[in-house]
Amino acid sequence: MVCKIEMCDCNVIHQEIVEAVKEQIPEDNRISVIAEFYKIFSDSTKLKILWALDISEMCVCDLAVLVNVTKSAISHQLKILKEANLVKFRKEGKNVYYSLSDNCVKEIIEKGVIHTLNKM
């Protein structure tokens, strides 16, 4: 029972299982969107920014000092966090103050934290 998908380099061992799983699994678009979302938390800098903002509103300069990278780096990452609707900001004079757009961020990373910190 040879694989019907051309680029595959192997036979299907259990056709029925593959078919069944294919029906139940989310489509590729959705998988990608979810992966995309988790990509944000997979970067130490972004994670640190989010964690910091969960503690206190902060400006770009403060975040740069805290994370120990350039303001530019922080600004680039904040842009990504903005696009993901995870942070919001308010301008005050020369400063721009960032904060979490909603407080579910901590909840989201909670599961992962529990899972990882148990092993340290």
Question: What is the secondary structure of 53-118 as a DSSP string?
Answer: HHH--EEHHHHHHHHTS-HHHHHHHHHHHHHTT-EEEEEETTEEEEEESSTTHHHHHHHHHHHHHT
Touching its own copies, residues 22-81 (CB under 8 A): 22, 24-26, 28-39, 41-44, 47-48, 51-52, 55-56, 58-59, 61-62, 64-66, 68, 70-71
The answer to whether 25 contacts DNA (rule: CB under 7 A) is: no
With CB under 5 to 8 Å by kind, the binding choice for 77 among DNA, its own copies, none is DNA
As measured in angstroms, the least distance from the Cβ of 40 to DNA is: 8
Instruction: Please enumerate in sequence order all residues whose Cβ is within 8 A of that of 53, keeping only pairs 6 or more positions apart, or say none.
Output: 87, 98, 99, 100
In sign, the C-alpha dihedral spanning 21, 25, 27, 33 is negative
As measured in angstroms, the least distance from the Cβ of 61 to its own copies is: 5
- Tell me how crowded residue 4 is: count the other CB atoms within 10 A of its CB: 8
Touching DNA, residues 55-74 (CB under 7 A): 59-61, 69-74
Q: Which is nearer to DNA, 94 or 115 (CB)?
A: 94
Residue 9 carries which DSSP code? Answer: -
As measured in angstroms, the least distance from the Cβ of 2 to its own copies is: 11
**Residues at the interface with DNA (CB under 7 A):** 7, 9-11, 13, 39, 43-45, 59-61, 69-80, 89, 91, 93-97
